[in-house]
Amino acid sequence: MTGIFINGISGKMGTNLLERSNSHDNIINCTNLNDDLLDTIIDFSHPDSTLKLLESISDTNTSIIIGTTGFDLEQIEQIKEFSKNKKILLAFNLSKGMSVIKKSVQDFVELNTKSLNCFIEDTHHAQKVDSPSGTAIELKNIIELNDKEDLISNIEIISKRSGNIYGIHKVIFLSDSEKIEFRHEAISRNIFSDGALEASHWIKNQKEGLYNFEDFLKS
């Protein structure tokens, strides 16, 4: 059994997470941070709220999954500093399917032998604050890190915000002879909630450090 506390429970992701947790027999919902049964905090809030939370639990053994996005570079460095004494899983996307896409993009870039242009599209609901998405930025970083021969130029991120779209990400590579496209669409928030709930059992048993969702999937 794993006891969780949802930070950001009044938001759309927090509400969905609470609903999904009720269908997991091995999850206990804790109502406060001092609950003796609490193992893992799942955070879907705002960067400032996340950092305040990390400060408040810095002297505890509680692990945390951060699904919040929109951090700047300084805030990411603060999270890294907290992880020296805290078990933290930082994931901008908690979908297993997106993890497969990221690995596929990495494999393609490593195998590529010709000059390409690249476009990354991220489309989300109109209420999403950060633009581009954390996932789009992560995809761009994966391409740049693994493009050892500098064959991929003009990596452009195109962000769209409209309607009630949960999340669509496309990575498009273009040459003079072909178009290669990787695409992932979330049709429900359930995939993010289920990913967080499954990872909550894992992160509590790790040693202090900063982890990502792929670390959990590889375990």
Q: 28-41, pLDDT tens digit by residue?
A: 999 999 999 999 99
Q: What's the CATH fold of domain 2-94+190-218? A: Rossmann fold (3.40.50)
Which residue of the set 124, 170, 184, 204 is catalytic? Answer: 124
What pTM, to 2 d.p., does this model score? Answer: 0.91
Model pLDDT, residue 129? 81
Q: Span 96-186: which CATH code?
A: 3.30.360.10
pLDDT at 35: 95
Confidence tier at 60 by pLDDT (50, 70, 90)? very high
If DSSP codes are grouped into helix, strand and coil, which group holds residue 100?
helix
- Is 114 an annotated catalytic residue? no
**The two three-digit tokens of residue 164, written as one number:** 């009630």
Nearest residue to 88 (alpha-carbon basis) of 50, 137, 37: 50
- Closest of 90, 29, 44 to residue 63, by C-alpha: 90
SS3 64: strand
Domain residue extents for the chain: 2-94+190-218, 96-186
Across all residues in the chain, what is the average pLDDT? 96
Under 8 Å between Cβ of 218 and 100: no
Q: Is 128 a catalytic residue?
A: yes
Work out the average pLDDT over 10-35: 95
Task: Say yes or no to pLDDT of 17 above 90.
Answer: yes
Going from the C-alpha of 55 to that of each of 22, 78, 79, 174, the distances in angstroms are 29, 10, 10, 45
